Amino acid sequence: MDKKVKVGIVGASGYSGEELVRLLLSHPHVELAAVTSRQYAGQSLAQVFPKFGHHPQARNIRFTEPNVSLLAKNAQVIFLALPHGVSAEFAVPLLQQGCQIIDLSADFRLKSAAVYKEFYAHDHPAPDLLATSVYGLPEVYRSAIKNALLVASPGCYPTSILLPTLPLLRAGLIKPAGIIADSLSGVSGAGRKVEQDYLFVECNESVRPYSVPKHRHLSEIEQELSLAAGAPVIIQFTPHLIPVNRGILSTLYFTPAIHFANATEAAALNDKITACYQAAYANEPFVRLLDAKTLPDTKNVIGTNVIEIAWRLDTRTGRLIVMSAEDNIVKGASGQAVQSMNIMCGFPETAGLI
């Protein structure tokens, strides 16, 4: 026990926070040393989340009020599972006191305070930190995460879109213009927000688009695509709410950079795409490249840190269709944050995640 790294969670009462609790309680190399929640201060994890009640530690660990000094004293690595704008209030002093921070909010994902303001409608609370924070997509920024003090863990939609797109864009296999991402998310994506729109009766037997055409996650998606393309990329993104608890399915429409006029040329291009994905992800423990007979299904990734990816060239339209499936709360949030922690702390990257 003495060699375990002490970790804390600020804002542990939402869905991402709860999932962090689940993952960290079972993690072989960490000790969950602090969980905070204004709402639940004083209560044990087992009281607030009965489902963890059979875990011995869940009966001993109690929620506390969020207190920076106490957190810094008790934990080396701090996860912030807070609303955007609020995260920065904790990140700044905790960094000063020597903690390593993994932030699940949007506060440190963008490199530009101006873009932040455009999409989040208020001034960035700590613009100086934007230069040093690392975007926590391990498959892309593994080495930077290794030495990071502040990791900005990606959003759920961005993860489902960036992982399938970045290798193709970097390899020049698709055109950066005209990309469309059509995404379907389970209701936990809205957080534990007590609003009429997310009541059972309002979501069950309902499917609906929302935030059309300018969802906030576009800011980080386009930032990362632009970095990969070496030029500004603007995409079309349409999120939809579907009646499942967990899961994001993204269907992506690309124009291949290489024209193909017949089945032979299509097969050749398909080989290039396959090779590109294999080069990028064959050794990634959490990316599952599907074969030509299989399409993604969120039920195959629920509860895991895996993202599934499949692709099809359409010889009729000349387009490339790529589809991905992930658990929005795991690979799209808390699992990916733990993956970053594993890298930062020198643990095996899959520790506590498989």
Q: Which residues within the stretch 5-44 sit at the binding site for a second copy (CB under 8 A)?
A: 15, 26
The minimum distance between CB 28 and a second copy, in angstroms, equals 11
**Restricting to residues 218-237, which ones interact with a second copy according to CB under 8 A?**
234-236
Which region holds residue 346: left if phi is over 0, alpha if psi is between -120 and 50, else beta? left
Q: Please say which residue, 51 or 67, places its beta carbon nearer to a second copy.
A: 51
Residues 111-170 that bind a second copy (CB under 8 A): none
CA end-to-end distance (rounded Å), the chain:
21
Task: Say if residues 90 and 96 touch (Cβ distance below 8 Å).
Answer: no
Q: Look up residue 300 and give its DSSP letter.
A: G
Closest separation in Å from C-beta 200 to a second copy: 4
Tell me which of 231, 258, 282, 354 binds a second copy, using CB under 8 A.
354
301 sits near a second copy (criterion: CB under 8 A): yes
The answer to the question of residue 333 lying near a second copy (CB under 8 A) is: no
- Cβ atoms < 10 Å from Cβ of 70: 14
Compute the least distance from the CB of residue 304 to a second copy, in Å.
7
* Interface with a second copy in residues 85-104 (CB under 8 A): none
User: Is residue 119 within 8 Å of 107, Cβ to Cβ?
Assistant: no
Give catalytic status of residue 276 as yes or no. no
37 and 16 in contact (C-beta within 8 Å)? no
Per CB under 8 A, contacts with a second copy among 236-255 are 236, 238, 240, 242-247, 249, 251, 253
Q: Which is nearer to a second copy, 132 or 210 (CB)?
A: 210
Name the token pair of 29: 């190399």
Closest contact distance (angstroms) between CB of 229 and a second copy is 15
Residues making up the chain, counted from first to last = 354
Give kind and range of the element (H or E) at residue 251.
strand 248-254
CB of 300 to a second copy, least distance (A): 4
- Sites for a second copy among residues 177-196 (CB under 8 A): 180, 182, 184, 186-188, 192, 194-196
**Coil vs helix vs strand at 139:** helix
Residues numbered 256-295 forming contacts with a second copy, rule: CB under 8 A: 285-286, 288, 290, 294-295
Instruction: Locate 250 and state its tokens.
Output: 């993204």
Residues that contact a second copy, how many (by CB under 8 A): 75
Contacts of 11 (CB under 8 A, 6+ apart): 17, 36, 37, 66, 80, 81, 82, 86
Query: Are β-strands 236-241 and 248-254 bridged in parallel, bridged antiparallel, or unpaired?
Result: unpaired
79 counts as binding a second copy under rule CB under 8 A = no
Catalytic residues: 156
